[in-house]
Amino acid sequence: MFNRRALLAAASAIAILGAAPMASAQDDTLDIALISKGFQHQFWQAVNMGAERAAEELGVNVTFEGPDNETQVDRQIDMLAAALARQPDAIGFAALDSQAAIPLLQQADDAGIPVVAFDSGVESDIPVSTASTDNMAAAALAADKMAELIGGEGQVALVVHDQTSRTGIERRDGFVNQIEAEYPDIEIVTVQYGAGDHLQSTEITKSIIQANPDLKGIFGANEGSAIGVVNGVRELGAEDIVIIGYDSGAAQMEAIRDGLMAGAITQNPIGIGYETVAAAVAAINGEEVETNIDTGFFWYDAENIDDPEIAAVLYE
């Protein structure tokens, strides 16, 4: 959560901002700084790929960085402060904490540096646009698929990456709200948080299964969470539990092909990266930018995983 380190980072950025030369003032190439949630998941590598594609097409420079894991809010704030200090032409930011970065983003806004949120927004109107998946709708679809696969009744659980980012909150709430609204015979026995770390999520999954012997299904709300659920189910030999994931990546795709995971929601990470850079360039040029850019989502399982439309948005 937001703390004194974040405040010091904000103060440091404010002090440096007045003295640092703009990168784009040294040449004619626009400089766009992207701060993601991390690098440890294939999802973020795919987002970076999309950002690089847009940068090449639009003739701009893009830097892409993130903390080592998705628990390091302070580290992400430090990265944002350092990016702000070099005075880029625009900033793209995927918030680990929807509130912690607001002072720094306000400083960017005051300096006339457009901010584009991507994947996970902030609780502020500072970003000129947010390029992301409709996570509430996507998680509701995951709930519908879970209900269908367990016959509309029984106990289910969630393993979510966090309860501070917009993605964590919205995927949790989208799933839970849909179950509560549409499936009265399904009981959500617990929601646990594994920081998007597959090892931590594995141990959480095993604890959930051991505490709930009648459990019928588990929803893993991001790549690391879903991989942890798969590993936990496999280690306990509980393959009769229906697993639904979120994102793709090699491990989830293999689990679906092997029949251990029923299916998953895939985002369009390359599209997220591309649209973030495109929106940043448009904002720099004073063009109108959509407030919310919906980059789409898809359900995939063993039946459609090789369909061209689905294969185009999966990443390994």
244 & 228 share domain = yes
Q: Looking up tokens 């949120």, which residue turns up?
A: 117
Q: Is the residue at 314 inside a domain?
A: no
Amino acid 316: pLDDT: 76
The stretches in the chain having pLDDT less than 50 are 1-26
Q: What is the pTM of this model?
A: 0.82
223 & 247 share domain = yes
Q: Is the residue at 14 inside a domain?
A: yes
For the stretch 11-18, contacts whose Cβ atoms lie closer than 8 Å and that sit 24 or more positions apart, written own/partner, are 12/81, 12/85, 13/80, 13/81, 13/82, 13/84, 13/85, 13/104, 13/107, 14/107, 16/85, 17/84, 17/85, 17/87, 17/107, 17/111
User: What are the backbone angles phi and psi of residue 41, rounded to the nearest 5°?
Assistant: -105, 150
Amino acid 257: pLDDT: 97
179 & 166 share domain = yes
Q: Is the residue at 303 inside a domain?
A: no
Residue 279 tokens read as 């929106």
Q: Looking at the 3D structure of the chain, how many domains does it have?
A: 2
Amino acid 39: pLDDT: 82
Give burial (CB, 10 Å; 0-12/13-18/19+) of 123. exposed
**Can you give the CATH number for the domain in which 255 is found?**
3.40.50.2300
14 & 121 share domain = yes
Domain encompassing residue 197: 135-266
Q: Are 156 and 219 in contact (CB under 8 A)?
A: yes
140 & 226 share domain = yes
User: pLDDT (tens digit, 9 = 90+) per residue, 29-58?
Assistant: 999 999 999 887 888 999 999 999 999 999
